[in-house]
Amino acid sequence: MIGNWLKTTILMAGILALFGAVGGALGGTQGMVVALAIGGAMNFFAYWFSDKMVLRMYRAQEVDETTAPQLYDMVRELAGRAGLPMPRVYLIDEAQPNAFATGRNPQNAAVAATTGILRLLSPRELRGVMAHELAHVKHRDILISTLSATIAGAIATLAQFGLFFGGNNREGGNPLLAILVMLFAPIAAMLIQFAISRTREFGADRGGAEISGDPHALADALVKIDHYARGITLEAAEAHPATAQMMIVNPLSGGGLKGLFSTHPATEERVARLRALA
């Protein structure tokens, strides 16, 4: 837990630094001060509301034991096995099979699954996926992933805004530096996610296997999800690529820069590690 809080602090400090760099490139000292103030406000807002923002991006609908009894009961049983409070459960009406967890702590967590993953997987395989997402909650990965998803998207927007309007630096700064900052700030934000996200999937796979007691179920699910997700577009993920690292399997088509910053380990390696656990 201490490690994750340290990572969160480093992430938020990195966000402030990136905002300051972009603001300085665009408007000198005054621009840096304004950007740092905006970055601080963004950190505060993201800490408290980023989970709601991500769920809204995916048009997720909350369900309960009446509207989605099988899924809800499955999550409740697994949460009990993991020693976790019951999270909120959401459905996303998308054909691509995928799932993610979000929230700032286990007491305010949510798990979301697409309708596509419910159609594709057997109950045993779906149980493995939900156990994986609850492992993210138990390991307190969800705050870091949700913060990085929402704030990295904001940084990319800020930099693109500055690039579009030319990066006017009234204090006579280097215009080449301004252009470089505006071009590379989105990449730097994605690299923060890359550094934080990639190895966590192995930990969540192991934790999910322990919670469910069935490593093969998650391994089988990953093989299916990876195969079918490649051919089905998830529009919300394409529109908000910074959120891709939250998913159990990379939801992006991989076109352009997106393919350079995959935040997921190779599915084959994940499956091999799960088989070895069994």
204-235: per-residue pLDDT in tens?
999 999 999 999 999 999 999 999 998 899 99
Q: Burial level of 6, CB count in 10 A (0-12/13-18/19+)?
A: exposed
Residue 136 is predicted with a pLDDT of 94
- The residues that are catalytic are 133
Q: Per-residue confidence at 179, pLDDT binned at 50, 70, 90?
A: low
- Pick left, alpha or beta for residue 101 (phi over 0 → left; psi -120 to 50 → alpha; otherwise beta): beta
Ordered DSSP codes for 87-150: PEEEEE--SS--EEEEESSGGGEEEEEEHHHHHHS-HHHHHHHHHHHHHHHHTT-HHHHHHHHH
Position 176 scores a pLDDT of 60
pTM of the model: 0.81
Instruction: Give the residue carrying structure tokens 């480093």.
Output: 10
Residues 12-27 have a mean pLDDT of 74
170 CB neighbour count, 10 Å cutoff: 10
Contact of 118 with 95, CB cutoff 8 Å: no
CA atoms lying within 13 Å on the CB side of residue 132: 31
What is the rounded average pLDDT for all residues in the chain? 83
- Identify the pLDDT of residue 131: 98
Q: Is the per-residue pLDDT at 113 higher than 80?
A: yes
Tell me which H or E stretch contains 73.
helix 69-82
User: Do you know the residue count of the chain?
Assistant: 278
Tell me what pLDDT residue 1 has. 47
Q: Containing H/E element for 62?
A: strand 61-63
Give 31 or 270, the one with higher predicted confidence.
270
